[in-house]
Structure 1
Amino acid sequence: MTLIYGHRGAKGEAPENTLASFQKCLEHGVTRCELDLHLSRDGELMVIHDPTLKRTTGRRGKVVEHDAEVLHAYDARQGGPGWPQPTPIPRLADLFEHCPFEHWQLEVKSASRVRAARMVMAIKGLAEHYGLQDKITVTSSSREVLRALMRRAPELSRGLVAEYAWLDPLKVARQYGCNLLALNWTLCTPERLHKAQQQGLHVSVWTVNEPALMRRLADFGVDSIITDFPGLAVETLGKP
């Protein structure tokens, strides 16, 4: 059975990476999610995709230039589907408190060595505090982040995000001891999928929004899909 992950919650149905979006995902019975993390100026993990605020809040500046309390006051419903109420940028801790997901894919974008280490330590601390070490896979396309995970939080599951074919994703995943491969669906051939699974990787394919594509990838045997429309995925593939 192919598992379903809500992409940034339920990005196609509610403002991405907000509490409303993750609650919408859970309403569909989808208990796995993917989200993106950046550090605030005062070192809190904030759930937002871009390093800048413009696209989702209309504000100027970078996430890292603002404290968590200020970021949490910003309404992040711009550029997504219409939504009646303000939807603040959540702290990761807020989601851990309010959303009972069975598994979380936490994506960390590329970062300097120092920033990668800070983010990994912050994730490790929250995972320990909430007892979620076994329910988290930290994913990244950044070797710096994967290296920091190996060194500073070896107990956390790691995943490689592979968007382009210029590197052999299986070789990189093996090099950094990954358990999961988050693969752009255009790279998902039956041969690559089979090789990855032989290597012991859970293959999670993104971003899959068309029912016909969902069915095709499920027939290939992917372990999970990441979708903006978790409700549609449940209708198409059934509840995992």
Structure 2
Amino acid sequence: MTIIYGHRGAKGEAPENTLTSFQECLKHGVKRCELDLHLSRDGELMVIHDPTLKRTTDRRGKVVEHDAADLMTYDARKGGPGWVQPCPIPRLEELFEKCAFDHWQLEVKSASRTRAATTVLAIREMAQRHGLLDKVTITSSSREVLRAALELTPDISRGLVAEYAWLDPLKVAQGYGCEILALNWTLCTPERLKKAQNQGLHVSVWTVNEPALMRRLADFGVDSLITDFPGLASATLGKY
């Protein structure tokens, strides 16, 4: 059975990484999501993909140069599918309070050692407060982030985000005690998939938006796929 994760909520249907997007994902009955985190200037976990505001809002500058209270007033509809209502940048806490997902892949972008430590500790504190320790996985392509998670928050599961094959992703995942391998779908060969699963990894492939590709990867036996169109994926993989 291939599980579906909504990518940044339902990125293909609503403005990515906004409360609206995660609500759309849930409307399709898709109860798992993937999202991206950056810290605000005052140390709040903000849900936004880029380190800068330019692509998704009409603002300039880095996320880390703005306080959470201000970031929460910025409209993040820019560049996504058309949406009538403003969609502000949410705090992770708001999503934890308003969205009942069964599992969250929380991707932390590459960060300095200090920032990585601050971020993983903030995630742990918030997940614990909301009773979600067993429902979150900290994922990253950054060794610094995975190292911090392994050392400082060992009770939260970890996942390696692998986009390129120049390093053996299975070896890296093993080195940081990961449970999930979030693999760019182009790297997902039947051989690598089998090897990863034999190693005890849950293999989650991204970003899968074409029905034919969804079916092919489900036939390969991937554990889950991350998609911009959770409704389409749900309809396509209904029988899988």
Band of TM-score, shorter chain: over 0.9
Identify the residue that residue 3 of structure 1 maps to in structure 2.
3
Deviations 1:195-235 (A, max 9, x none): 00000000000000000000000000000000000000011
Cα shift at 1:58: 1.9
Identify the residue that residue 203 of structure 2 maps to in structure 1.
203
Q: Distance in 1 between matches of 2:151 and 2:174?
A: 16
Amino acid at match of 1:151: E
Identify the residue that residue 28 of structure 1 maps to in structure 2.
28
Amino acid at match of 1:187: L
What secondary structure sits across from 1:164 in the alignment? Answer: coil
Identify the residue that residue 129 of structure 1 maps to in structure 2.
129
Identify the residue that residue 90 of structure 1 maps to in structure 2.
90
Q: Structure 1 residue runs of 4+, over 2 Å off?
A: none
Q: Does 1:163 align with 2:163?
A: yes
Q: Distance in 1 between matches of 2:106 and 2:87?
A: 20
Cα shift at 1:178: 0.2
Identify the residue that residue 229 of structure 2 maps to in structure 1.
229
Q: Distance in 2 between matches of 1:200 and 1:140?
A: 18
Amino acid at match of 1:63: V
Q: Does 1:59 align with 2:59?
A: yes
- CA change 1:155–1:212 in 2 (3 A) is same
Q: Distance in 2 between matches of 1:170 and 1:22?
A: 30
Q: Distance in 2 between matches of 1:239 and 1:82?
A: 31
Cα shift at 1:238: 1.1
Deviations 1:113-168 (A, max 9, x none): 00000001100110110010000011000000000001110000000000001000
Contact 1:4 / 1:225 at 8 angstroms: preserved in 2? yes
Amino acid at match of 2:146: L
Identify the residue that residue 214 of structure 1 maps to in structure 2.
214
How many residue pairs are counted as aligned between the two chains?
Answer: 240
Q: Distance in 2 between matches of 1:186 and 1:199?
A: 20
Q: Distance in 2 between matches of 1:109 and 1:32?
A: 20
TM (normalized to structure 2)?
0.99
Amino acid at match of 2:40: S
Task: List runs of 5+ in structure 2 lacking aligned partners.
Answer: none
Deviations 1:79-122 (A, max 9, x none): 00000000000000000000000000000010000000000110
Identify the residue that residue 100 of structure 1 maps to in structure 2.
100
Cα shift at 1:239: 7.6
Contact 1:29 / 1:239 at 8 angstroms: preserved in 2? no
CA RMSD of aligned residues (A): 0.8
What secondary structure sits across from 2:12 in the alignment? Answer: coil
Q: Distance in 2 between matches of 1:212 and 1:27?
A: 23
Q: Does 1:110 align with 2:102?
A: no
Contact 1:207 / 1:227 at 8 angstroms: preserved in 2? yes
Q: Distance in 2 between matches of 1:182 and 1:24?
A: 23
Identity of aligned residues (%): 80
Identify the residue that residue 40 of structure 2 maps to in structure 1.
40
Contact 1:6 / 1:32 at 8 angstroms: preserved in 2? yes
Identify the residue that residue 152 of structure 2 maps to in structure 1.
152
Task: List runs of 5+ in structure 1 lacking aligned partners.
Answer: none
Amino acid at match of 2:235: E
- CA change 1:201–1:81 in 2 (3 A) is same
Q: Distance in 2 between matches of 1:199 and 1:231?
A: 31
What secondary structure sits across from 2:55 in the alignment? Answer: helix
Amino acid at match of 1:227: T
What secondary structure sits across from 1:137 in the alignment? Answer: strand
